[in-house]
Amino acid sequence: METFLVVAGLIFLLVVFMYNTLISKKNQVDTIYAGLDAVLKKRHDLLPNLVASVQEYMVHESITLEKITELRIKAMTHSLDSRETIALEKQLSSMLGNLMVAVENYPTLKANENFLHLQATLSEVEEQISAARRAYNQSVNDYNNAIEMFPTNFMAGLMHLERKEVFSIPKQERSSVDVKNLFQK
């Protein structure tokens, strides 16, 4: 009887430990996602000023500018889940990358004081987004490992926990949104 109680106690402790581990990893993902969301909002706040200061110079880039405005409005007004946000921000990063490459063709814009200030701010925000994205991906990776690895995968199944998507950016796009490097050329 005593042996049975000891074994039952150990199993109970193991279940509690696994449950708490999974919950803490899930909460970690949510906390870091909130941080990521906050820096993404910083970028959204910056975009109207950026578009306003470049549109009179960049006459041939109106489609890109319209797309950026449209994506920003979508990100700000629609309540998107993490998967949709990640997909939308990927598009936004890609469009911003294209825009910054196009800036090279407008020397008067590159000399504009207001634009220089905006590009420096954007460069810093991009650094913060990059940091938040890395932190988010690490937490998602830890969480995904926990729900797929033995023995926590059984507990994760019972708790109906699902894999989360990492915030990845294709390599060529990642380099094109590296605004800091772009403007240091």
Partner 1 sequence: MKPRLASLLDYYYESMYPTLQALEEKRLTILSSLKKAALMLVFLGTVLFFVLSRTNVFTPLHAFLLSAMSGFLIFMFIYRHERAGYDSLFKDLVIEKMIHFLDPSLIYTKMDSIDEREYERSELFSEAYDRFSGKDLVCGEIEGVKVRFCDLHVEKKVRTKNGKEEWSDIFSGLFFVADFNKTFHAKVVVLPDVAERSLGILGTWLQGVNPSRGELIKLDHVAFEKLFVVYGDDQIESRYILSHALMERIVAFHQKIDKPLYLSFVDSKLFLALHYTKPLFEPILTRSLLEFESIKAYFELLTMITNIVTEFKLNEKLWSKR
| Binding-site ranges for partner 1 (CB under 8 A) | 28, 32, 35-36, 39, 117, 120-121, 123-124, 127-128, 130-132, 134-135, 137-139, 142, 180
Give the residue with the Cβ less far from partner 1, 46 or 67. 46
Min dist. Cβ of residue 33 to partner 1 (A): 11
Tell me if 117 sits within 8 A of 68, measured CB to CB.
no
Q: Token pair of 98, please?
A: 């294209």
Give residue for tokens 């940091």: 131
- How many residues appear in the chain? 185
Min dist. Cβ of residue 63 to partner 1 (A): 29
Query: For the chain, how big is the Rg over CA atoms in Å?
Result: 22
Min dist. Cβ of residue 122 to partner 1 (A): 9
Min dist. Cβ of residue 165 to partner 1 (A): 17
Tell me if 72 sits within 8 A of 42, measured CB to CB.
no
Give the residue with the Cβ less far from partner 1, 69 or 121. 121
Rounded Cα distance between 3 and 139, Å, is: 39
Give the residue with the Cβ less far from partner 1, 61 or 85. 85
